[in-house]
Chains A and B, each alone.
Chain A
Amino acid sequence: MSSRTYQHHVRRALGYAVLVLFALIFIAPFIITVFTSFKTDSDATLHSLDPVPHPATLSAWQQIFGIGSSASVADVPRWLFNSAFVAVIITISRVFLDSLAGYALARLQFRGRKLIFGFIVATMAVPGVVLLIPQFLVLKELHLFNSYPGMIIPIAVDAVGIFLMRQFFLQVPVALEESGRIDGASTFQIFWMIVLPVVRAGLITLTIISFQASWNQYQFFLIATISPKYYTLTTGLANIIGGGLSAGNQFPLKLGASLVTIIPMALMFFLLQKHLVRGRLSGAVKG
């Protein structure tokens, strides 16, 4: 019996060791990125695993935020502004328009509803990456290429979000709307004042996945814009990685700029993890 408990303990310890090792593999790259951003270029290149910078320097961060004399090619504050601005507008738009459409598809009687729903489900299958060429064409024809509206309008709605909101609206009791109808509220008033507050969980989930998607968006912005003034964190960062900077490999600067891209998502992730997980699951089971 005692040998069995001993075996049990060994197995348990092994299990934890494996888990900790894997957790380390998943987290270590981020930790290494943080301390590398405080190193000099040569230190970062030659002693990449040494956690202590020799010497510690804020030079990469000063360049990132445009402090000091060293003029930087990486206009990170501008990228940060563009990323935040575009992501906020897209998120607001998606939450509003996806909810409107989702509500109509869940609850309103109108001819063609089934057809529209089938259409939404079909467009969920269309992979964004194959649309880059014709979307560029459409943006040019509509004179939206290389502008904020051009970055926002084409992705201001997403089919998965409509599908998600429809699922949430289907769970709202019909009785709720009927009571509003008796009080003489219009359909929009019923939607806006009675039903929308009930699906708060759905709205939070949609807000998070929309913000995450537009903050991390890269391929669409790559083809929708060409001027550096429209660079977001992703397109700007890709540009300096691809050789927009001439002197050396500049790992601390590039990794620092990567951190500026990662940290807001990390904060949102830790604060709102539950909603994020639910959003990921509901977004995926879309078949």
Chain B
Amino acid sequence: MATLSESSGSVKPVTTQEELRSEAAVTRDGARSGRETGRLRRGESIFGWFFVSPAVAILVIFTVIPIFLALYVSFTNWSGLTSPFSHSVQLVGLTNYRTLMTTPGLYQTDFATSIRDNLYFFVIVVPLQTALALWLATLVNNKYLRGKGFFRTAFYFPSVTSSIAITMVFIFLFQGDGVVNTVLGWVGVKGPNWVYDQSGLFTNILNALGVHDAGWANHQFIGLSLWDWIAGPSVGMCVIIILLIWTTSGTFMLFFLASMQGIGEDVDEATAVDGATPWERFRFVTLPLLRPALALVVTLGFISTWQVFDQITLTALANPTTITPAYFAYQVSFLDSAFGQGAAVAFLLFCLIIFLTAVQRRFIKEDLTT
């Protein structure tokens, strides 16, 4: 520690009185000697390390080391019972990764299913939550609107509540004789048994149009038939899609609102005088100005849809075909005791999310500087 602090003194030596003054504009004690200041700076260096060390220690032990452990465990057949470093645990090379990618079997099918399901989350949830958030923000941002605070609160409230409690509420709303099906009954629609329904949305539509399992669709592609790949989200998954949109759009609305407040009314009014219709004003004035916020919301959506987990732990029992890689990793590890296999899934997911985050950070930075 002593050597560290001493050398840090040389990083930014404050020796001359001029520098001392520039460091501290209010220092009246201009006669303070250089040696005394050096001691002050040395103390600061020790304190600096002292202040960050608890945080750094916890982050290293419970975030950084686990990343490397996940990588190590993914090359073993660890069952979770003994220590992963004991002799009974064997290194199995790339077996766990091969099981997911190339070896036909239950795990390959389940992994492909989880990827498929998450792709549907990604493709459906992100555009809808972004559009809804943007639309709600434009409605609430209207300067003539009364009860602005009430509406903003109403839209934002779901996102501060527990994901588990909210999922329970949705399971109840979407039960067979539940609220949603009652409302659908008013307009003569007989609702499905939502959460329990494993049939694909697109499959159902195709079936209704008279298209059934065609010969070409039996072709297998990474553990699933093409027919299964294009089946669409299961009806049960639609409940989670609605839940995700419902809980996130309020938060994203806030991002848009914060950005809109920066635009100011004069721009809007100037174009209104020019005779632009509200849609033209939105499309050609507001939307381009909202580009940074839009980029942020879309990329945050990309990243967060790959982390869907809590909701699935509650519905997977009722609907085992609706899973995400995050849940699949948990299921394989903690429920099947195949931690090595689960770690392989988790590590692949980790790489994907880090990649998306890196893209986001680059993207956002560029967008904010232009």
Residue positions of A touching B, CB distance < 8 A: 12, 15, 18-19, 22-23, 25-27, 29-30, 32-33, 36, 44-46, 48-49, 97-98, 100-101, 103-105, 108-113, 116, 119-120, 123, 125-138, 140-141, 153-157, 159, 162, 174-175, 178-179, 181-182, 186-188, 191, 212, 215-216, 218-219, 222-223, 233-234, 237-238, 241-243, 249, 251, 254-255, 257-259, 261-262, 265-266, 268-270, 273, 276-277, 280-281, 284-285, 287
Cα separation A182 to B31 with both chains bound (whole Å): 12
Chain A residues with CB under 8 Å of B59's CB are 119-120, 123, 157, 159
User: B204: CB under 8 A from chain A?
Assistant: no
Cα separation A104 to B254 with both chains bound (whole Å): 31
User: B58: CB under 8 A from chain A?
Assistant: yes
Give the A-B pair count, Cβ closer than 8 A.
309
Segment 206-244 of B: residues with Cβ below 8 Å from A:
none
Q: Kindly state the interface size class of chain B when it binds its partner.
A: 35 or more
Contacting pair A140 B63 (CB below 8 A):
no
Q: List 9 extra interface pairs beyond A49-B179, A133-B330, A216-B163, CB under 8 A.
A: A22-B154, A29-B173, A101-B51, A123-B59, A218-B310, A234-B165, A241-B167, A251-B172, A258-B166
Cα separation A154 to B58 with both chains bound (whole Å): 6
> Chain B CB within 10 Å — which of A19, A136, A243 has the most?
A19
Contacting pair A108 B48 (CB below 8 A):
yes
Contacting pair A178 B26 (CB below 8 A):
yes
Contacting pair A276 B8 (CB below 8 A):
no
A21, chain B: closest CB distance, angstroms: 11
Chain B residues with CB under 8 Å of A33's CB are 169, 172
Residue B314 contacts which of A44, A125, A155, A238 (CB distance < 8 angstroms)? A238
> Chain A CB within 10 Å — which of B23, B51, B61 has the most?
B51
Residue positions of B touching A, CB distance < 8 A: 4-5, 7-8, 11-12, 23-29, 40-41, 43-49, 51-52, 54-56, 58-59, 61-67, 69-70, 73, 80, 83-84, 136, 139-140, 142, 144-145, 150-151, 153-158, 160-173, 175, 177-179, 182-183, 246, 250-251, 254-255, 258, 296, 300, 303, 306-307, 309-310, 313-314, 317, 326, 329-330, 333-334, 339, 342-343, 346-347, 349-350, 353-354, 357-358, 360-361, 364-365
A-side binding surface: helix, strand, loop or mixed? helix
Contacting pair A287 B168 (CB below 8 A):
no
Q: Which 3 A-B pairs have the closest CB atoms?
A: A110-B48, A134-B66, A104-B51
A29, chain B: closest CB distance, angstroms: 5
Chain A residues with CB under 8 Å of B361's CB are 125, 287
A30, chain B: closest CB distance, angstroms: 7
Q: Using CB atoms, name the residue of chain B closest to A223.
A: B334
Chain A residues with CB under 8 Å of B307's CB are 127-129
Contacting pair A266 B251 (CB below 8 A):
no
Chain B residues with CB under 8 Å of A126's CB are 63, 67, 350, 354
Chain A residues with CB under 8 Å of B353's CB are 125, 127, 130
Cα separation A36 to B171 with both chains bound (whole Å): 13
Contacting pair A277 B51 (CB below 8 A):
no
A5, chain B: closest CB distance, angstroms: 14
Chain B residues with CB under 8 Å of A255's CB are 168-169, 172
> Chain B CB within 10 Å — which of A130, A131, A216 has the most?
A130
A238, chain B: closest CB distance, angstroms: 5
Contacting pair B48 A100 (CB below 8 A):
no
